[in-house]
Amino acid sequence: MTLNDIVQALPFEPVIHGMLDMEQEIKGIAYDSRQVKPGFVFVGIPGVQADGHAFIPQAIANGALVIVAERTVALPAGVCLLLVPNSRVAMAYICARYFDNPDRKMRLIGVTGTNGKTTTTNIVKYLLEQAGHTCGLVGTVGGMAGQEPLPEHLSASTTPESLELFNLFALMVDKSCDYAVIEASSHALEQGRVSACYFTGAVFTNLTQDHLDYHGSMEAYCQSKTKLFAMLHESGYGVVNADDPYAEQFIAASAAPVWTYGEAENADLQLISYSASITGMHFQVKYLGNLYKVKMPLIGKFNIYNAMAAMCVALAEGLAIEDVQRWLQQAPQVAGRFELIDEGQDFAVVVDYAHTPDGLANVLTAARKLKPRQLITVFGCGGDRDKTKRPIMGRIAGQMSDVCVLTSDNPRTENPLAILDMVEDGIRTVNHNYLVKEDRAEAIQIALAMAQTGDMVVLAGKGHEDYQVIGTEKIHFDDREVARTLLRARLQK
């Protein structure tokens, strides 16, 4: 790739400062100055923690030939500055060109929404692979190319920066993927990380309170999510949860035809009835006037919606509903999503990632549907995140649980007890049968110790995560490991 290629790739015309041969070969791209090598492009990105522009001198010292930035900086001879209105968006288009547009060599499907993104993307991947395709995946639980895990450092966040994302796409193409399905977070959409992606399909699962510390309001949060649908071309398609109050805004944002699913009578894929058991869900849907009975091993009405979203993607991709109906019987368990921990105990233990008010309500509703003798919930709220949801989640847990154990959940740089005080503000208004134990392992131990035959213990908030963030340190911690260890010790007594 040359400097001229970079300029041509940009969606806007940059202001160029400094002299450099337009045919100068570019050796690589970095937005971390420590990763810069001779011949690289360095992109200065304004961030919450630090401003990448402050590290431009270090990048130049490390050999950067081209600087992409949003403001002018002093340059030595032999270095070129591309002044752009949005350096993150610029980086997305540069990376797309640098990796030879790998997203256009596959059918790319993005899934956005507050809850259900991970499960939906995993079911979409599973269905496409059952149909004989090779599908890549990028999301909360990592990156995959077919059944092969991709490098962890490229998928450290739900939706990586464009440099890592297009690198992942290129690896997928190298491994013969003809599809890729990714989680598109509101942060990534708002910041422009996926702005250069060519999406064939877009899925909207739901919109409930989350990330208001970043977006400020539900309206702004919604607008960031609809950007995914605004990126669709007429030849693509959208999939929208027709039962969500924000559904019309997503439909209106799409220039492509939109499939809908839900209980609404006008939904393309309509949910007619359902029932639950500890082994999974049975539900009936109507499609093109015909009724289809579906059985799957995933638990909870929310997982029916996730499955229906994936079914719409499969139908939009031309798969037969009869095949989809059969394949869902073996749908894979997604790590940390209503995951049953079974060591032979006579009560149920469930681990779930639920960390929003709606997510927690969905999980506890699913648990209640299974009619446990007593529902015991262990949960907390993350630090340095939306504080307004803490009392709301406390109230939800108090209303829906028989007993609650409040505990830490990635307190980060906040005082864990101060976080728990805010959760208590909500729970004490509806339920006094709770206790506070800051240490999460001890909280889980307490909950499991009080569980009796026929009870259910829900460990909410961490799901698949195998760490706790305390201060700025990431410490190994896995709810599933802790629960299994405690259950085995209990059964050996």
CATH number at residue 23: 3.40.1390.10
Over residues 140-151, the mean pLDDT reads: 93
Regarding whether 161 and 198 lie in a shared domain, the answer is yes
Which residues, 6+ apart, have CB-to-CB distance to 220 below 8 Å? none
Regarding whether 65 and 176 lie in a shared domain, the answer is no
Quick count: other Cβ atoms within 10 Å of Cβ 27?
15
Place of tokens 């149920």: 348
Structure confidence at residue 213 (pLDDT) = 58
Regarding whether 155 and 192 lie in a shared domain, the answer is yes
Regarding whether 402 and 314 lie in a shared domain, the answer is no
51: three-class secondary structure by DSSP: strand
Structure confidence at residue 141 (pLDDT) = 86
Structure confidence at residue 64 (pLDDT) = 97
Question: Are 382 and 360 within 8 A, CB to CB?
Answer: no
Question: Are 43 and 53 within 8 A, CB to CB?
Answer: no
Q: What is the pLDDT of residues 31-80, one digit of tens each?
A: 999 999 999 999 999 987 789 999 999 999 999 999 999 999 989 999 99
Regarding whether 435 and 373 lie in a shared domain, the answer is yes
Regarding whether 472 and 423 lie in a shared domain, the answer is yes
Residue 253 and residue 245: Cα distance in Å, rounded? 15
- Read off the CATH number of the domain in which 482 is found: 3.90.190.20
Regarding whether 347 and 326 lie in a shared domain, the answer is no
Percent of all residues in the chain with a pLDDT value above 70, rounded to a whole number: 98
Regarding whether 270 and 238 lie in a shared domain, the answer is yes
Question: Are 165 and 173 within 8 A, CB to CB?
Answer: no
The domain containing residue 448 runs over which residues? Answer: 339-492
Regarding whether 381 and 244 lie in a shared domain, the answer is no
- What average pLDDT is seen over the chain? 95
Q: What is the pLDDT of residues 12-23, one digit of tens each?
A: 999 999 988 999
Q: What is the pLDDT of residues 113-122, one digit of tens each?
A: 989 999 999 9
Q: Among 152-156, 301-305, 384-388, name the most confident range.
A: 301-305
The CA-to-CA distance between both ends of the chain, in Å, stands at: 66
Q: What is the pLDDT of residues 258-298, one digit of tens each?
A: 999 999 999 999 999 999 999 999 999 999 999 999 999 99
60: three-class secondary structure by DSSP: helix
Regarding whether 321 and 459 lie in a shared domain, the answer is no
- Domain end call among 301, 330, 359: 330
pTM: 0.91
- Read off the CATH number of the domain in which 321 is found: 3.40.1190.10
Q: Is the confidence at residue 217, as pLDDT, over 90?
A: no
- Domain end call among 74, 98, 122: 98
Question: Are 185 and 113 within 8 A, CB to CB?
Answer: no
- Residue 155 pLDDT class (50, 70, 90 cuts): confident
Q: What is the pLDDT of residues 456-487, one digit of tens each?
A: 999 999 999 999 999 999 999 999 999 999 99
Structure confidence at residue 210 (pLDDT) = 61
Can you say whether residue 288 is alpha, beta or left, with left for phi > 0 and alpha for psi between -120 and 50 degrees?
A: left
Neighbour-count burial of 428, counting CB atoms closer than 10 A to its CB (0-12 exposed, 13-18 middle, 19+ buried): middle
Over residues 218-237, the mean pLDDT reads: 92
Regarding whether 439 and 294 lie in a shared domain, the answer is no
- Domain end call among 304, 330, 356: 330
50: three-class secondary structure by DSSP: coil
Structure confidence at residue 212 (pLDDT) = 56
Q: What is the pLDDT of residues 365-404, one digit of tens each?
A: 999 999 999 999 999 999 999 999 999 999 999 999 999 9
Regarding whether 423 and 346 lie in a shared domain, the answer is yes
Over residues 82-97, the mean pLDDT reads: 97
Number of independent structural domains in the chain: 3
Place of tokens 């229906």: 308
Structure confidence at residue 216 (pLDDT) = 60
